[in-house]
Amino acid sequence: MSLKDTAIRNARPKDKQYKLSDEKGLYLLVKKAGKYFRFDYRYAGKRKTLALGVYPGVKLAEARERRDNARKLLQNDIDPAQHRKETKAMRKDQAVNSFEAIAREWFTKNKHIWTEGHSRTIIRRLELNIFPWLGTRPVAVISAPELWAVLRRIEDRGALETVHRVKQICGQVFRYAIATWRAERDPSADLRDALPPTKPKHMATITDPKKIGELLRAIDGYEGTPVAKCALKLAPLVFVRPGELRHAEWVEIDLDKAEWRIPAEKMKMKNPHIVPLSTQAVEILNEIQPITGEGRYVFPSVRTYSRPMSNNTVLAALRRMGYTKEEMSGHGFRAMASTVLHEQSWPSDIIERQLAHAERNSIKAAYNHAQHLPERRKMMQAWADYLDTLRIGGKIIPLRRARHE
């Protein structure tokens, strides 16, 4: 005789546990702790019991469906209990070896080699663009078409640079999975020609000498905070990356030696970098030292001296001065120096070393932070003097001439 929902609902615990039978091996076990659906069966000559759920979380109809599924497995000579155990283990393995799990493991192992901002960008790109669609998929079974379908979502937004960056990150995750024996191949390699090329991206900058002079005069007349103004004045003299400028610490700067030594962990390429300071740069730092010199950062936040200024400080100042994003950017001071110095025939090796661009030989790069330092000191001072000439609107003297006179 089959069970009824009413009988299950009205069943009360007794001193000893008891059963209410349904049919085909299904029954309800009533205990003081609760009501449990069970399925008794025989496999390989042995009597076994399979738990099917707890009432009322599992209703009678669902318990019967689970029993029928177990009976189908038995018809195919599969032990339902062993099948459940193996399925659970497989799901656990898939969770451990899912794309998201592997990606986060790879990220944790490598984030120390990136700047804080770059680390945030990498994990955010995965969280927004990949994990929602591929995060739970076992890394070993993701195919090229499957990855391409997800990348197409980014492409359809028109974010061509982002889609190439995300594909590159995914490739690094797949190669890490291969190296750690969780995958056999990198499907991103099959998509080499599947994405449209990115458009060349040029940093907004100013390279016309007359307009550089106008910018420098605008900076001199800027009426923002002393910290923001000094950061603006120093930026064209050192042409470091905006993040390196705002994270500058007094302990890194030797005003007597006129030298700023940026540790490797702060640099994009993770190599230490020396910035020779012109007399004009030293003067600016002497100007700000009475204000921030007791703290850690040269350019601290307006809210607390325990943090550096916002990454938007210099950019916002440029906007308040009337320069649009198409005209000038925080990175523009680097592009300005690079363009003009090359035009003035300074040796490319010296310029590139001062810009701290990537050294192809990583071992060589670790020892090259002081390379060409005497020449770089001359170039930095000549550059500062050249900017002074542009600022006052005087006769423009080419840097190479200025250096020899």
pLDDT tens-digit series, residues 322-357: 999 889 998 899 999 999 999 999 999 999 999 987
Amino acid at 269: M
pLDDT tens-digit series, residues 163-188: 999 999 999 999 999 999 999 999 99
> What's residue 89's pLDDT?
67
- Asked if residue 13 has pLDDT above 70, the reply is yes
pLDDT tens-digit series, residues 100-119: 999 999 999 998 877 787 88
Helices 209-220 and 226-238, interaxial angle, to 10°? 150
pLDDT confidence tier of residue 397, bands split at 50, 70 and 90: very low
- Asked if residue 9 has pLDDT above 80, the reply is yes
Percent of residues, the chain, with pLDDT higher than 90: 70
**218 vs 372, more confident:** 218
Q: Which of 249, 354, 338, 245 is nearest to 293 (CA)?
A: 249
Q: Which of 348, 339, 354 is nearest to 275 (CA)?
A: 354
- Asked if residue 395 has pLDDT above 60, the reply is no
CATH node for 209-404: 1.10.443.10
**To which CATH superfamily is domain 5-90 assigned?**
Integrase, DNA-binding domain (3.30.160.390)
First to last CA, the chain: 110
What residues are annotated to the active site?
241, 268, 331, 334, 357, 367
What does the mean pLDDT of the chain come to? 88
> What's residue 362's pLDDT?
46
Answer whether 308's CB lies under 8 Å from 301's CB.
yes
Q: Where are the domains of the chain?
A: 5-90, 99-191, 209-404
In this prediction the pTM is: 0.55
Q: Which three-class secondary structure state does DSSP give residue 36?
A: strand
> What's residue 394's pLDDT?
52
Tally Cβ neighbours within 10 Å of residue 32. 10
CATH topology of domain 99-191: DNA polymerase; domain 1 (1.10.150)
Answer whether 269's CB lies under 8 Å from 368's CB.
no
pLDDT confidence tier of residue 304, bands split at 50, 70 and 90: confident
Strand partners, 242: none
Contacts of 266 (CB under 8 A, 6+ apart): 115, 243, 244, 247
Alpha-helix runs per DSSP H in 200-247: 209-220, 226-238, 242-246
Amino acid at 177: A
The whole-angstrom separation of Cα 32 and Cα 207 is 84
Can you spell out the DSSP letters for 288-335? HHHHHTTSSBSSB-SS-TTSBPPTTHHHHHHHHTT--TTT--TTHHHH
pLDDT tens-digit series, residues 245-266: 999 999 999 999 999 999 988 8
- Residue 34 sits at φ, ψ, to 5 deg, of 160, -170
- Asked if residue 142 has pLDDT above 90, the reply is yes
